[in-house]
Structure 1
Amino acid sequence: MTHSPLSIDLDRSSPVPLYFQVAQELERRIMSGEMPAGTRLENELVLAERLGLSRPTLRQAIEYLVDRGMLVRKRGVGTQVIRPRVRRPVELSSLYDDLARVGEEPRTRVLRLAVEVPPDPVAAQMELPPGTEVYVLERLRLAKDEPLALMRNHLPLGLVELDEGELSAQGLYRLLRAAGVTLKMASQSIGARNATPTEAEALDEPPGAPLLTMERVVYDDTGRVVEVGSHVYRASRYSFELTLTG
């Protein structure tokens, strides 16, 4: 797929670097769908000349978007738009709400909903005596009909009545808040590993593909554990964003 010759109005008196102005405008067009996946950029030399930029400046803009998972360089093809990764801030929010906020049209398939005794380590995380029954919930989350994440959650009984239909229609945290649960804080760890054959099939990835992992324990405003979550995400379509301050 090609695109019409690229034209960008640049403010050369602005303190914003020219490469970043180019990158921001390209990002806007990609996210809005003006430059859909498959769109090829022109040769760097031709494009730099048209925009009145040096080639290193244009290359810096392109590299910025390559790093953000919006462009890819392919030998023999050139620079091409790819479907952007879902970038999720590391905060106490649900994946469903994060996807809805950026227009990714979340959908959920409930794979399993049961009441059973969890493994002892999970009971310990939930601060429950061994042998206590809890909700066990397994879901496949999709973004615009594309598999994105497999989620396994344990919740204590008595907080909220979980229903497969409701869980398919909206996010877990929305259901908890609607039931009067105030989510206050979470302990969370992020990692990575390779997909098992079952995970790879569910997420439409090759066996052994890289996955991002998130383990989370969520507390309400009384200090009670309300959820223990174990999620895996497609690394090809997903990333976490952190803001660091010093």
Structure 2
Amino acid sequence: MRKHDGSLFQIGEVAKILGLSRKMILNYEDQGLVVPAVKDEVSGYRYYTADNMTRLRSIRTLQSLGLSLKEVAEYYYDTTNIDRHLQRLMEMRDALDKSIEMLQVRSAKSGDFTIHSVALPRQICFCRQYTCTDVSEAAIHLRNTYIAAARTGYMSMVRCMFTVRQTAKPDTLHLLCSIPVEDCFNGPERREFPETLALCIYYRGPYEGIGDARRALKQYVKENNISVSGYFRSIFLEGPPTRGTNSADYITQVAVPIADR
């Protein structure tokens, strides 16, 4: 059977163009995820349209994100559980964003105070406020807040904990210890942080040196007449749980929210 016109593709062409195997394409067809535009029942030849190819690419992308073929089918055809599928994809996006972020920050070098523009995500947090005398005491309060948040059963498995420095005074350590939790958490410690633009430094080194990164960021904001819209945050990307006592390899995202420019 010959192609009717130049707009149709044989399965071998599709496989080559998309980097898929013939077996994978036939499996998608068996699962009801794609239907060839033309199928010769005698010869078994299949022909696909550009729309078929777009669907195949979409299926493969969803698979690469971690969805099973059953979940891909539900994504396409289950219209009664849209919210559940949307939540699943958002969780996967968050995990992917975190992986990308971690690859970026791993390249941070000690003493590198390069300024980055980022978007801090909206998140719900379990928060407790403390006045601390030094970094060691702050670490104890943050750990205790983490334990309390974990015991709620709603702690996020994706987002990183952070502190918000709730004063501009350099010699005063008023901290809001913040542990991301699921949106459905409704305890008295619940606090919502909206999505916001921010400037940040990916600081590599012991927590005692975070102040140097904060001062560099503050100086940059001042020199460039940038309007800030919130207090400085220290977002703990890698620390004792992954780096043990090797504090030289701790990575902290020091960020300050800014107004839209």
Q: Normalization by structure 2: what TM-score? A: 0.30
| Greater Rg by CA | 2
Which structure features the higher share of strand residues? 1
Q: Normalization by structure 1: what TM-score? A: 0.31
Which structure features the higher share of helix residues? 2
